[in-house]
């Protein structure tokens, strides 16, 4: 029997909001980094533009006094990063992959020089997140919607855990 907190009954088990409240599910990723010149000196006040390669949506940030920038809530996807500061050639890092619940780091080095020049770096490897030990996976809609797909059988054959339940009580 449930106490006065909101309650969900699932397969004969009563789950209170208290049990579900410990589950934190994030569908966003994050990207941060440090901007420096080629000698390693930080570059404060640099303009950082992050562009989603699929949607072309842009977010902007400015490096702080330590040369750091941060994009804390990013939808999973592939991004391109452009960093500019007067007196330096622009730097561009392309194909940065952000996954669910991932905190990636992409540092940029600016070269002193012509402002019209751009240095482009292709992110040919996965950018490794080192802040947490969590593992996540993106599940495509087709994997859930197609009843006879091997992916759906794999997803549905796994036992249900408290982390699989919604964080807010209500109809499922």
3-class SS letters over 36-103: EECCCCECCCCEEEEEECCCCCEEEEECCCCCEEEEEEECCEEEEEEEECCCECEEEEEEEEECCCCE
CATH class entry, domain 29-122: mainly beta
| Among candidate residues 76, 90, 82, the one with its CA nearest the CA of residue 60 | 82
In the three-class reduction of DSSP (H, G, I as helix; E, B as strand; rest coil), residue 154 is classed as helix
Least confidently predicted of 72-76, 88-92, 154-158: 154-158
Q: Mind listing the pLDDT tens digit for each residue in 93-102? A: 999 999 988 8
Alpha-carbon gap, residue 57 to 74, rounded angstroms? 11
Percent of the chain with pLDDT over 90: 46
**Domain ranges for the chain:** 29-122
Asked if 109 and 46 touch (Cβ cutoff 8 Å), the reply is no
Greater confidence (10 vs 51) lies with 51
pLDDT tens sequence across 23-57:
556 689 999 999 999 999 999 999 999 999 999 99
């Amino acid at each position: 029997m449930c106490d006065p907190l909101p309650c969900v009954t699932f397969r004969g088990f009563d789950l209170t909001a208290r049990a579900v409240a410990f589950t934190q599910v994030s569908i966003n990723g994050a990207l941060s980094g440090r901007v420096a010149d080629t000698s390693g000196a930080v570059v404060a006040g640099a303009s950082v533009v992050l562009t989603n390669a699929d949607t072309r949506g842009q977010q902007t940030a400015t490096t702080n006094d330590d040369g750091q920038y941060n994009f804390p809530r990013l939808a999973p996807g592939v991004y391109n990063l452009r960093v500019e500061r007067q007196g330096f050639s622009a730097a561009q890092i392309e194909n940065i992959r952000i996954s669910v619940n991932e905190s990636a780091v992409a540092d940029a080095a600016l070269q002193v020089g012509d402002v019209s020049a751009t240095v482009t770096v292709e992110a040919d490897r996965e950018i490794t997140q080192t802040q947490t030990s969590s593992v996540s996976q993106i599940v495509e809609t087709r994997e859930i919607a197609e009843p006879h797909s091997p992916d759906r059988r794999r997803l549905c054959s796994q036992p249900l855990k408290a982390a699989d339940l919604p964080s807010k009580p209500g109809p499922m």
